[in-house]
């Protein structure tokens, strides 16, 4: 998971999220139902309930990609 030092990370993702691990799935579901996190994409959640998903992803793009695709190689970044 990605953590930013808070009790609930701003944005978090990883192989555990959306997995078959029932304990992790229950914890995520509980946090989502309590309104402490929101799902912004498959296997991607955030505790930032104020910013738009687009802003969150843009700010954390390379960290998210690194966690979702750990063996990927990025080449020729362009903006």
Q: What pLDDT, in 10s, does the model give residues 12-68?
A: 554 444 556 788 888 888 989 999 999 988 888 888 999 999 999 898 888 888 888
Angle at 32 between CA 40 and CA 28, to 5 degrees: 90
- Residues whose CB falls within 8 Å of the CB of residue 64, separated by 6 or more in sequence, listed in order: 2, 11, 13, 44, 57
Is residue 18 assigned to a domain? yes
Per the CB < 8 A criterion, the answer to whether 16 and 5 are in contact is: no
> What pTM does this model have?
0.66
Is residue 77 assigned to a domain? no
* Higher pLDDT pick, 22 / 11: 22
Is residue 45 assigned to a domain? yes
Please, which residues bridge with residue 46 across strands?
11, 38
Please, which residues bridge with residue 44 across strands?
13, 41
Q: Domain range holding 40? A: 11-68
Is residue 49 assigned to a domain? yes
Is residue 78 assigned to a domain? no
pLDDT at 44: 85
* Higher pLDDT pick, 5 / 60: 60
Q: Please, which pLDDT band fits residue 78 given cuts at 50, 70 and 90?
A: low
Number of domains making up the chain: 1
Is residue 4 assigned to a domain? no
């Amino acid at each position: 998971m990605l953590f930013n030092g808070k009790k609930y990370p701003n944005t978090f993702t990883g192989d555990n999220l959306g997995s078959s691990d029932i304990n992790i799935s229950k914890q995520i579901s509980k946090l989502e139902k309590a309104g402490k996190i929101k799902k912004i994409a498959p296997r991607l959640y955030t505790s930032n309930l104020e910013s738009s998903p687009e802003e969150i992803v843009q700010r954390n793009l390379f960290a998210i990609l690194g966690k979702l695709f750990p063996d990927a190689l990025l080449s020729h970044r362009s903006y």
